């Protein structure tokens, strides 16, 4: 559509709206698969890049690079948020998935430490920085796209699919890991070269996602905003314009802080916790992680639909209260159990609590900002918060573990959730005060 020649905005049909949501979600799944394949297979490739030290030290080094990758996420949130607000959600989404593909391919092809020495971990770091840049932009842009594509009465439900596919990316990584572990490769083969397979798969899937995203429709909200502001480009996607909404910015940081730390603890870090603390085998840890994440993904649309009925704030309050009260008891019990299915039950209980945040946090953030700076507003403060708290979760947990005070980490999570609870108590329900309704 040529915005310089037309002042009308095409109406998106229901079928095209659903197609756009499905297409956007699948691309999101591929992006997060590429991101989480690193965490899932770190237990196999850590010795290839960091050959010296015990298992905890090796995992600590790979977790450090995982955390450094998160430092690029604020830059990605700014860069792709700006692109999305100025040039369109679709353009930003296609560019981010292409960058992710390159990062995955680089990890797959990087020789190990024995072959090229210190350049091996350096190339791993470069790959993770590229992936961090990509995924930093993915969250804000896809959250904005799905929220704008959804109808007003189903925004919570449709936007919940962002976390369905985000978790789906983890599930895909773990599913591939289970297949490799149980049927295709030996443990020795996985450690030696088999860990490269998921990164090759990720590069191929990213190219497929790129193709799917090129066929997506742009959102009506962006098209209308472009018509209104085509003579005022500076008002779209600029940090200066974003800073005119300080309350919304601080709200995003506050509501994200506890939720992202809990999410990364029970998903990304949990596999290592089950091996390193609960002392399950790698295969048992992968199986429990896979089954719990599958249930977790299925819960998201139900919580999102509930938020369309009763509002967003009650779900956030539920997460804040239950997370503050039960994080320490759940993780303490999980760390002491020796029963496989008892550990599974504790993990499911924790993920049900976290669903009060994960299912709706994307739409809540999108509802806080006007169209012209929505992608940047959702993506940048979120990425900064996740970089500091979510990205460091594994590293902090393993540091406490190495210093024989692992239970301190449980209280750290509790304190962060309690902080977010204060924000939930004082914030307005975004469903009733949504700026998406003004598009």
Tokens of 75: 């830059």
Mean pLDDT of 123-146: 89
Structure confidence at residue 307 (pLDDT): 96
What is the model's pLDDT at position 6?
A: 39
**Residue 135 pLDDT class (50, 70, 90 cuts):** confident
At 228, the pLDDT band (50, 70, 90 cuts) reads low
Phi, psi (degrees; rounded to nearest 5) at 88? 125, 150
Instruction: For residue 78, report the phi and psi dihedrals to the nearest 5 degrees.
Output: -70, -50
Report which of residues 433 and 189 the model is more confident about.
Answer: 189
pLDDT (0 to 100) of residue 2: 40
The residue written with tokens 């439900």 in the block is: 157
Contact by Cβ (8 Å): 30, 213: no
For the chain, what is the domain count? 1
Q: How far is CA 299 from CA 169, 194, 285, 289, 354, in A?
A: 16, 32, 21, 15, 10
pLDDT of residue 237: 64
Q: CA angle 340-346-347, nearest 5°? A: 90
Predicted confidence at residue 155, as pLDDT, reads 92
Is residue 148 a part of any domain in this protein? Answer: yes
Encoded tokens for 332: 């303490």
The CA–CA distances, whole Å, from 302 to 20, 27, 144, 219 equal: 21, 22, 20, 25
What is residue 68's predicted lDDT score, i.e. its pLDDT?
76
CA pair distance 310, 423, nearest whole angstrom: 19
Q: List the one residue out of 292, 383, 297 whose CA is nearest residue 341.
A: 292
Q: Is residue 141 part of a domain?
A: yes
Q: Does residue 248 surpass a pLDDT of 80? A: yes
- What's the rounded mean pLDDT across residues 352-377? 94
Mean pLDDT (whole number) for 209-218: 81
Cα separation values, 104 from 97, 198, 299, 394, 438, Å? 11, 9, 29, 21, 40
Cα separation of 167 and 289, whole Å? Answer: 11
Residue 285 neighbours by CB under 8 Å, 6+ apart: 271, 272, 274, 275, 278
Q: What is the pLDDT of residue 439?
A: 60
Average pLDDT over residues 385-410: 91
Q: Are 137 and 67 in contact (CB under 8 A)?
A: no
pLDDT in tens, 49-104: 887 766 676 777 777 777 777 788 899 999 999 999 988 898 898 888 888 888 99
169, part of any domain: yes
Q: What is the mean pLDDT of the chain?
A: 87
Asked if residue 6 is part of any domain, the answer here is no
State residue 214's pLDDT score: 81
Highest mean pLDDT out of 200-209, 287-296, 322-331, 398-407: 322-331
- The percent of residues above 70 in pLDDT, for the chain, comes to 93
Q: Which residue has the higher pLDDT, 169 or 354?
A: 354
The structure tokens listed for 57 are 């030290």
Per-residue pLDDT, 136: 87
Tell me which DSSP letter residue 53 carries: S
Predicted confidence at residue 13, as pLDDT, reads: 66
Does residue 59 sit within a domain? yes
278 or 18, which is more confident: 278
Tell me if 428 is assigned to some domain: yes
Predicted confidence (pLDDT) per residue in 165-206, tens digit: 888 988 998 889 889 988 999 999 999 999 999 999 998 888
Nearest residue to 367 via CA among 143, 73, 186, 160: 143
pLDDT for position 342? 95
Instruction: Give the least confident one: 200-204, 209-213, 396-400.
Output: 209-213
Specify if 269 maps to a domain: yes
The pLDDT assigned to 364 comes to 96
Give domain status of residue 7, yes or no: no
pLDDT score of 213: 83
Q: What is the mean pLDDT of residues 119-138?
A: 89
What range does the domain containing 270 cover?
14-438
Neighbours of 325 (CB within 10 A): 14
Closest CA to 176 of 141, 201, 144, 145: 201
**3-state class (DSSP) for residue 182:** helix
Cα(80)–Cα(69) distance, integer angstroms: 16
CATH code where residue 299 lies: 1.20.1250.20
């Amino acid at each position: 559509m040529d915005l310089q020649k037309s002042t009308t905005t095409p109406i998106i049909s229901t079928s095209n709206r659903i197609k756009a949501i499905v297409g956007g979600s699948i691309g999101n799944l591929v992006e997060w698969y590429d991101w989480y394949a690193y965490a899932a297979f770190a237990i196999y490739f850590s010795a290839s890049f960091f050959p010296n030290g015990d298992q905890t030290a090796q995992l600590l080094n790979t977790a450090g690079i995982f955390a450094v990758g998160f430092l690029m996420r604020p830059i990605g949130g700014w860069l792709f948020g700006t692109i999305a607000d100025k040039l369109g959600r679709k353009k930003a989404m296609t560019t981010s998935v292409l960058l992710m593909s390159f990062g995955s391919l680089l990890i797959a092809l990087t020789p190990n430490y024995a072959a090229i020495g210190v350049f091996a971990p350096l190339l791993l770091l470069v790959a993770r920085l590229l992936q961090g840049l990509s995924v930093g932009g993915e969250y804000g842009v896809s959250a904005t796209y799905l929220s704008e594509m959804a109808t007003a009465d189903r925004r919570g439900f449709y936007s919940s699919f962002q976390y369905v596919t985000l978790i789906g990316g983890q599930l895909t990584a773990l599913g591939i890991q289970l297949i490799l572990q149980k049927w295709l490769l030996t443990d020795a083969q996985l450690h030696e070269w088999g860990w490269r397979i998921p990164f090759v798969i990720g590069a191929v899937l990213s190219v497929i996602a790129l193709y799917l995203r090129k066929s997506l429709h742009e959102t009506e909200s962006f098209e209308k905003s472009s018509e209104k502001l085509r003579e005022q480009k500076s008002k779209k996607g600029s940090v200066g314009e974003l800073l005119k909404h300080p309350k919304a910015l601080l709200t995003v940081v506050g509501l994200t802080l506890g939720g992202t730390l809990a999410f990364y603890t029970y998903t990304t870090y949990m596999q290592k916790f089950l091996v390193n603390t609960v002392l399950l085998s790698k295969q048992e840890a992968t199986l429990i992680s896979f089954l719990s994440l599958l249930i977790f993904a299925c819960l998201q649309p139900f919580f999102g639909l509930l938020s369309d009925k009763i509002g967003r704030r009650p779900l956030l309050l539920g997460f804040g209260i239950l997370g503050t009260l039960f994080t320490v008891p759940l993780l303490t019990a999980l760390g002491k159990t020796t029963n496989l299915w008892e550990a599974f039950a504790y993990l499911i209980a924790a993920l049900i609590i976290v669903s009060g945040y994960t299912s709706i946090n994307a739409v809540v953030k999108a509802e806080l900002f006007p169209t012209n700076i929505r992608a940047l507003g959702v993506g940048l403060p979120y990425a900064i918060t996740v970089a500091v708290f979510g990205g460091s979760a594994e590293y902090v947990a393993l540091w406490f573990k190495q210093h024989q005070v692992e239970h301190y980490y449980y209280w750290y999570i509790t304190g962060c959730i309690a902080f977010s609870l204060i924000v939930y108590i004082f914030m307005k329900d975004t469903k009733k005060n949504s700026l998406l309704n003004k598009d």
